[in-house]
Structure formats: structure tokens, C-alpha cells
Amino acid sequence: TWSAVLTILQSDDSSYSVDLYNRQGIELSPDMNTKENEKQNTSPNDVLNNPATKSALAGKSGSGIFSSPDEKTEKEIVSYTYEKGFGEYAGKGWVIIVETPFKGAFAATARTALANALMVALFIIVISFLSYWIVRQYIMKPLEALGDIASRFGKNDFSKRFAVTSHDEVATLGAAFNDMADSIQSAHTELESRVQQRTRELDETNKLMQ
């Protein structure tokens, strides 16, 4: 029924409008979303010369950016199609036009893009922080510990050992440092012992000579 058709065409969503025209360019469905005086200023001539309705009346369907038949100064995203009938019903060749303002159409996209960009930025910050923490915890700190041990070696302090808590390359290097420290400390202790023994022997020899 015609009332059912109007119910479908007349949407409460103000972000777009739906219009139905016959082959003479006369609007068959006054749109609730457009002011009545604007509709009155839209002549069948304007509708017939509009690129979207022209294409639809030629039996085509599609979408594009056109001037609205109602507001010629505003660019709108327009989708159009024609009534080709169904089954044995050939149809009357009417066309249906769906219009949404160009700016309004991309407003939601811009908001979504901004939200996505913020989420990506937050994700990058979190990943960067985690990466820094992992590098700091498992690479930088062990290397700093090895640097401290090497510095102590230079001061003849071989008491410090590297805490081996993993099986990676840094831990292998730390274990090598520990083995080296054990060897040097053992050799150093043995050398000190031999020096002390030799010193005692020299003292005894000196006393005997005196």
C-alpha cells in the first residue's frame, strides 16, 4: 500500500533523505527531513537535469557526489536506482534517490579515524613502555652488573659475582665472568700465599746472615 511505501521512505534519521520521483520528475514522496518550502522550489526540470536522477531515469543504478536537486549549492553523496519491476510487473520507471550531506557523511568516519588513531597511539605507547621495561630488565641491568664487576676487577676486587638467572647470551657472559673471577681470585690468593711464604723465608735468611 502507498502508506507502507511512505513509511519506508520517510525516515526519522536526519543524516540522510530519501526521495521518490516519477518519470516526469515529480516528487511522489515528500521527505519529512527537508523543509517544505525547499521542496516547493524544486521543479521537475531541476530533477530531470540532475545527474543522479538523469542516470536513474536512463535505467542505471549507482552512487556519486552530486549537487542535491533541493540544494544546488551543497555537494551530497547520492545513491540512485530505478524501479525495474518484479516478475510480470514491468514497473513505472520511477527512481529513488538517497542523499546525505558530504560533510556529514565523513563526520562519522573522521570520528572513527580519530578514535582509531588514539587507540593505535595508546597501543604504541604501551608496547614502547613494555619493550623498554623488558630491555631494561633483561639486557641493560645485567650489562650494568657486568660493567660493575669488570670495574671491580680493575681495582683487584674479585669478590663480586654475576647472578645467573637465565640461559640467554648475557647469562652465558656473566657465567664466564664468574669463572674468570674464580680463576683470578684463586691465582691471586695462591700468589699472595707464595709471596708471604717467600717473605718469611727471606726474613729467616736475613736473620741468619745477621
Secondary element (H or E) of residue 177 = helix 169-209
pLDDT-derived band at 124, boundaries 50, 70, 90? very high
pLDDT-derived band at 76, boundaries 50, 70, 90? confident
With a pLDDT cut of 90, the percent of the chain lying above it is 9
pLDDT the model gives residue 73 = 66
pLDDT tens per residue, range 142-169: 778 778 877 877 777 777 777 777 777 7
- Greater model confidence, 119 or 19: 119
- List all residues 6 or more positions away from 21 whose beta carbon is below 8 Å from its beta carbon: 27, 28, 47, 53, 94, 95, 96, 97
pLDDT the model gives residue 38 = 46
The three cell numbers locating residue 79: 545513491
The three cell numbers locating residue 147: 660493567
pLDDT the model gives residue 39 = 46
pLDDT tens per residue, range 3-31: 777 777 776 667 778 888 888 888 887 65
- The C-alpha atoms of residue 153 and residue 177 are separated, in whole angstroms, by 10
pLDDT the model gives residue 11 = 66
pLDDT tens per residue, range 36-74: 434 445 677 778 888 888 888 888 899 888 876 556 667
pLDDT the model gives residue 37 = 38
pLDDT the model gives residue 48 = 84
Predicted TM-score (pTM) above 0.85 = no
Q: Where do we find the cell 520521483? A: 21
- The C-alpha atoms of residue 176 and residue 186 are separated, in whole angstroms, by 15
- The C-alpha atoms of residue 87 and residue 75 are separated, in whole angstroms, by 37
